[in-house]
Amino acid sequence: MKKQLIGFLILFAVGLFLAGCQSAGDLTSPVNDLEKKGGNNTLLTITPINTTPGAETCVELVAGQHYVVGTVCIKTEGTNLKVKYNITDSDWSITETHLAVVGDPADFPRTSNGNPKVGNFPYKGTHSNVGEVEYTIPIGNLPSTVYVAAHAVVQNCNSVPTTNLCPDFPSNVSLTPTWLPSGYDYTVKVEFDSQTYFGFCVDNSRYIGSGGARTVNFICSYDPTIPNCTTFVEKPENLDLVNWIINNRQSNWNRATVQAAIWKLINPSGNLTGWDTSTTTTGEWRHDPVLREQIIALAYQYGEGFVPGCDQKVLVLVYGPGEICNPIRQVLAFEVPVECVPGDCNSETAWGFPYNNGPVPGKSALFGSQWARYFSYLR
């Protein structure tokens, strides 16, 4: 009886030892266990993506787990494997790639918990927002079935740009305005801070004091604080129409006709003699009154509520010396390019694997605890 008890204890201890060895093996070899089992602990079988060895075959390039942004295509050429990333969604581009091709999934560079270490993948690169990346991989020493992990970082910069419509200018600036003779596309130019801008007169009642410096301030033609005083701008509600004119100016709209259209829209009561009744051949302010009225009609038709966008121009008003509603000199307006602010870019991690509203069953396998996947290929 005593001998039987001793024998039972020995067998029990051996059993504990073997069970302990199995547990230790699982802990130190997570790759093998992860290759055998999926996230629900069911056995995995990975079917190669191609049935004809070496034939070119493509899988989807999936960003952020759900967005198909391109493909990863593979084919055999001699003793090499060609792997090509292709972006098919024009909103996206490639900024990084990491690629590994192995004969055994256990050979993928991984962390201790089985997740991929893409930084240790043997084929990798950084890219300047490209649509294609191709790698040539020697596979002469690999078995007929290889395993492929194709990782990328993709970027979407297609968000709508914004505009900084009204530029910032300093106050109390010493500015020199100059009246331009006929033959120029503009009526006046202004110079300050080593910059030169071109534009038009806003009213036709005051002189600009050409050639002499004066202290001025600026206000954007879309500034909501523009005062409603006729001594500054008689009809500020029509400034959007004037902005439409300068952004849609045609080659036959000479400066005198455009200047007259501006006066007619925002300062029709100006007392400059003959500016709105002159003909095309006589008078200091000669222009084509028929064309002027055509320009004004187009501005009313298309310019109501107009706001300049990227690659367009905005009028900035110049007043002073004096307060905004009591300027001593002519109020001027000059054109400034609208500042375009690019939209934010969105970056996503992407992996190549067969996808059809989700991973195709049996065609790829998970890495560790992440959504990253690899697949197999018959070379």
Would you say 68 and 58 are in contact if contact means Cβ atoms under 8 Å apart?
Answer: no
Q: How far apart are CA 85 and CA 134, in angstroms?
A: 6
* Same domain (yes/no): 370, 337: no
Does 261 share its domain with 197?
yes
Supply 371's token pair.
Answer: 């959504």
Examine the domain organization and report whether 321 and 265 are in the same domain: yes
**321 preceded by cis ω (within 30°)?**
yes
Single-letter code of the amino acid located at 15 = G
Residues 115 and 237 in one domain: no
**303 in a domain, yes or no?**
yes
Clarify whether residues 65 and 181 are in a common domain: no
In order along its 379 residues, the chain shows pLDDT tens digits of 444 444 444 444 444 333 333 322 222 223 333 344 443 333 357 999 999 999 999 999 999 999 999 999 999 999 999 999 999 999 899 999 999 999 999 999 999 888 999 999 999 999 999 999 999 999 989 999 999 999 999 999 876 777 889 888 899 999 888 888 888 999 999 988 888 999 999 988 877 765 678 899 999 999 999 998 988 999 999 999 999 999 999 999 999 999 999 999 999 987 777 778 777 777 778 889 999 999 999 999 999 999 999 889 999 999 988 899 988 888 999 999 998 877 778 899 999 999 999 999 999 999 888 899 999 999 9
Same domain, 181 and 272: yes
Closest CA to 378 of 103, 58, 52: 52
- Cβ-contact 148, 342 below 8 angstroms: no
pTM of the model: 0.56
Position 117 in a domain: yes
207 with 104, same domain: the answer is no
Q: What is the DSSP string of 324-346?
A: TTS-SS--EEEEEEPEEEPPPPE
Whether 353 and 49 have beta carbons less than 8 Å apart is answered as no
Structure tokens at 185: 């596309």
As a whole number of angstroms, the distance between CA 11 and CA 9 comes to: 5
Q: Which domain holds residue 368?
A: 30-159+347-378
247 phi and psi, to 5 degrees? -90, -10
Answer yes or no: is 246 within a domain.
Answer: yes
Residues 68 and 217 reside in one and the same domain? no
Domains of the chain: total: 2
